[in-house]
Structure formats: C-alpha cells, structure tokens
C-alpha cells in the first residue's frame, strides 16, 4: 500500500459525532428501528471494550455493525481504516502500513465481534449529551479501488466529512423534501461513496439507513418495503442494471443515487420509467468525495455542488471544493462550460493513440456494451509485447450465445480497425468488486487465463 495522502489539518473545533434529536430514527429493518440516542449508548458501551490502538480496520459488511464499530472507535479517538477489499493480503498490507501506534481488526469474520441490531432494539437512551469530535482530527483513511493501478490511501478529517455531508444534502435533499429519507444501500460502507451515502448521511445528515446490505434484487425490494418514509436507493450502475433485468417490483422510490462508474443515459431513463423516482448520479472519488451531480436521464453535463470549481489541467482536472483543504488533481478530463458545468471526456490513462488515430477505452467499452447480446464487458490496452511496440486492445465480455469473433464483427460497424480487440475472453461474469469496479490487475489476470481468443484477420483460435 502507498503512503497516506493526508490533508493539512485546520484549527481544532468541536463537532457532534452525530447530528439531530437523539429520539430520531437512525437505523431500521423489518423488525423495527433504533434511535440515535440508543445507538450512541451502545457505541459508548462497545468503546469501553475496544483495545488501545491508533488505527482500526473496519470489516463489518452489516451496515449496523459497521456504524456501531465506526462510532465506538471514534469515541476512543481511533482512526478508521477502510480497506479496498477484505482479501487477506490486501488487509495485511493496510495494517502493515499503519503499524505505528498500533492497529487491529473490528467486525466481519476476521475482527473483534461487534453487537448487532437485535441487541439494541428496544433499548432506552440514557439522555447523555451527543459526543463531540475535533474537526481537524483524522476520522478515516480510505483507499482508491486500484482500477488504474495500485490502491492509494487518502486521509479524511471530521471537518471534511461534515462539510462534505452538507454538500451531499445540497445535491440530494430535494428528492425527499421535509421528511426523513430512508436509505437502502447496496454498496459497502468501506468504499468512500458508501461511507458518504450510508454512514455519514445518516450520522450527520439526519437520514435513516437500513441495517443490512442487500444485494440480490429480491433482498433490495424487501429492504425498501421496510422503509417508513421517502425511499432512497443508493446503488451502482451494475446493481441497477441487475435490478432492471430481474423484473422484480420495487415500492415507490423518492430517488435513486448512483456512482462508482458512468451510468448510461438509457439505463437511467429506464429506471426512472420503471420505479418512478428520479435517478440522481453523483460524481466523486476517494480523493475528492462527491463534488458534482446530474439527472442522467436528462442531463449529459455535470453540475458542481455549491462552492465547487473544476479547472482543466494538461493531464487532468483540478477540483476546488469547500470540503477539501487544498485543491485535488484528478486524471479525469472535463471540458468546462461558461456556467461551470462540464461533461466527462474520459481519463488521461484511457486515451489511446495508435497509427496516428485517437480513441478512448471508455468509449470503446460503451460500444462493446451496445453490441446486442453483450450483457457486461470492458476494453483494455495490454502492455506492449516488445519495447517500443504498441499494446494490443483486448476485451472481457459476458455474452451468452456469442463467440469472440461475433463480438468483433459487430464492433467493426462502429470502431476503427486499429482499435478492434485482438484478444477477447468470454466469462459467465466479470470479476467486479463490491462496488462493481474492475481492477486492472484482475482484468489482466482474466485475459491471461484459458479461453482467451485471438481475433483478427478472421481468426478465432485460442491464445
């Protein structure tokens, strides 16, 4: 793991660990709800049993246990580590990188146990004041997904989290008006998008959140049925596509929030037509948190959140935002309109130049997904086979009933021959992580496996 990229810490100012009336609902499921006050009392009890350490790796998949462990550790002044995956090697790397001051694992199958929601149900709040934290204190260290390389660590302060949550409310609050939103999230709490929408929005933004993390369409529908107010589904394009294809009926939604990958406009429009709520896509990253929004079914341009400004750079974009202590450089390429809105034109690492012609991996992937019969897919450029050479274009796809040569033949209608995939592997499903992302290492490993076909000049033989 790389060194932590840490923001400059502002002057310390006290902030509440959680906002709102202690009597408000914080978490719900099919058996009832837990108030903020009762939850904080349970967090205090757990905090007294935690070991002394500077860092804690939070591993709970269950949303309630994650929230409880996160707040209990915060009461001890411990910094949350949000590993990019639960793989043993990845987790060992994260803990090794934070050995200074001590670290331990909390929750999940590998960490110290965390009580569940059933132990909090019916608990009466003690009436103690809401605990406070320093705005300049480190709250968490999140990791990039590794989709373009090795995961990078980024530190977040409580002040940054509080300001960012206010920004997210500005981006989403019109979806639910003056009622308390009831959030159901399919994304893990350890991912920064999941942290913002399913941990911080309930803690600091007044929302209530479902205790679990439903993934299967029927489970998502059941969790949404258990909500007692405006339903907000926090999900990803991959999960949203699976919901639509399943045909499962959902209760009326106030809105759907999507992130982690570009959401196709036709998919957003289909979801709005099927489920009734507006699909609100948010743009962010581990480095920046959320900084822009759009209604994808109608808008191609992104609208920056209040106080946010993006400025193009030769190799990407600089993001200025109230929740960022310093501007953050991203590899994403934006073309900024006079009113500040912008389209995403791709990433610097996605741009291709072969035989004097240009394309982008993102656009090639969109064309792959548009091939009839292709259910999922990704296009990548391989490393050159010799020094000074040009890396081949390759693709992974889920396409029952199609052969690699069929896919390439369909792509010939819209893709310049120099950018056609020369290697294609068909899989039952792509090796996506919990947020639907694909790491480059995982994709390359899959392409190196058996069943990869070399396709070109009419051939389709196994590589």
* Token couple for 116: 């569940």
Q: What is the pLDDT of residue 356?
A: 74
Q: Residue 25 burial by CB count (10 A; 0-12/13-18/19+): exposed, middle or buried?
A: buried
What pLDDT digit, counting tens, does each position of 398-441 carry?
999 999 999 999 999 999 898 999 999 999 999 988 777 888 88
Over 70: is that where the pLDDT of 5 sits? no
Structure confidence at residue 256 as a pLDDT band (50, 70, 90): very high
Task: Give the chain's mean pLDDT.
Answer: 90
Q: Under a CB-based contact definition with an 8 Å cutoff, are residues 59 and 84 in contact? A: no
Q: What proportion of the chain, given as a percentage, has pLDDT over 70?
A: 94
Measured CA to CA, the distance from residue 303 to residue 53 in angstroms comes to 41
- CA torsion, ordered 254, 260, 265, 266, to nearest 10 deg: -80
pLDDT winner (highest mean) among 43-47, 124-128, 389-393, 452-456? 43-47
Same domain, yes or no: 313 and 371 = no
Same domain, yes or no: 258 and 390 = no
Over 60: is that where the pLDDT of 462 sits? no
Q: What is the pLDDT of residue 436?
A: 79
- Name the domain count of the chain: 2
Q: What is the pLDDT of residue 454?
A: 86
Residue 459 belongs to some domain of the structure: no
Same domain, yes or no: 259 and 375 = no
Q: Under a CB-based contact definition with an 8 Å cutoff, are residues 385 and 375 in contact? A: no
Structure confidence at residue 169 as a pLDDT band (50, 70, 90): very high
Domain-ending residue, one of 293, 308, 342: 342
DSSP string of 266-297, one letter each residue: HHHHHHHHHH-SEEEEEE--TTT---EEEETT
Mean pLDDT calculated for residue range 370-387: 88
Mean pLDDT calculated for residue range 113-122: 87
Structure confidence at residue 287 as a pLDDT band (50, 70, 90): very high
Q: What is the pLDDT of residue 348?
A: 67
The one-character DSSP state at 384 is P
Q: What is the pLDDT of residue 345?
A: 83
Over 70: is that where the pLDDT of 219 sits? yes
Same domain, yes or no: 191 and 301 = yes
Structural domain range at position 420 = 350-454
Over 60: is that where the pLDDT of 463 sits? no
Domain-ending residue, one of 319, 342, 365: 342
């Amino acid at each position: 793991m790389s060194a932590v990229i840490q923001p400059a810490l502002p002057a310390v100012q006290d902030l509440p660990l959680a906002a709102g009336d202690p009597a408000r609902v914080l978490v719900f499921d099919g058996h009832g709800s837990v108030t903020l006050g009762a939850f904080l009392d349970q967090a205090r009890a757990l905090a007294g049993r935690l070991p002394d350490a500077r860092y804690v790796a939070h591993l709970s998949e269950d949303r309630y246990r994650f929230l409880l462990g996160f707040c209990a550790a915060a009461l001890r002044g411990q910094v949350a580590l949000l590993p990019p995956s639960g793989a043993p090697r990845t987790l060992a790397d994260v803990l090794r990188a934070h050995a200074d001051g001590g670290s331990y694992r909390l929750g999940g199958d590998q960490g110290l146990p965390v009580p569940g929601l059933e132990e909090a149900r019916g608990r009466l709040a003690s009436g103690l004041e809401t605990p406070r934290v320093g705005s300049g204190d480190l709250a968490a260290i999140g990791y990039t997904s590794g989709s373009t390389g090795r995961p990078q660590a980024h530190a977040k302060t409580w002040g940054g989290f509080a300001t960012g949550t206010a920004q997210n409310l500005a981006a989403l609050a019109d979806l639910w008006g003056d009622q308390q939103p009831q959030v159901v999230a399919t994304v893990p709490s350890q991912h920064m998008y999941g942290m913002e929408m399913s941990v911080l929005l309930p803690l600091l933004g007044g929302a209530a959140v479902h205790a679990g993390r439903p993934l299967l369409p029927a489970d998502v529908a059941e969790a949404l049925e258990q909500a007692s107010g405006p339903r907000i589904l926090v999900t990803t394009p991959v999960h949203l596509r699976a919901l639509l294809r399943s045909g499962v009926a959902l209760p009326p939604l106030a809105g759907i929030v999507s992130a982690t990958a570009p959401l196709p406009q036709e998919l957003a429009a289909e979801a709005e037509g099927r489920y009734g709520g507006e699909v609100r896509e948010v743009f962010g990253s581990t480095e920046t948190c959320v900084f822009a929004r759009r209604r994808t079914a109608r808008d191609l341009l992104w609208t920056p959140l209040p106080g946010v400004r993006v400025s193009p750079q030769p190799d990407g974009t600089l993001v200025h935002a109230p929740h960022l202590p310093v501007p953050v450089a991203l590899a994403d390429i934006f073309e900024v309109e006079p009113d500040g809105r912008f389209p995403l034109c791709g990433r610097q690492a996605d741009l291709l130049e072969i035989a004097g012609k240009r394309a982008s991996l993102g656009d090639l992937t969109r064309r792959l997904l548009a091939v009839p019969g292709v259910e999922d897919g990704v296009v990548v450029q391989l490393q050159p086979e010799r020094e000074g050479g040009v890396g081949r274009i390759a693709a992974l796809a889920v396409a029952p009933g199609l052969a690699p040569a069929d896919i390439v033949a369909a792509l010939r209608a819209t893709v310049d021959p120099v950018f056609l995939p020369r290697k294609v592997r068909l899989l039952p499903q792509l090796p996506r992580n919990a947020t639907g992302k694909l790491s480059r290492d995982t994709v390359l490993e899959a392409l190196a496996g058996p069943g990869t076909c070399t396709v070109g000049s009419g051939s389709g033989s196994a590589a």
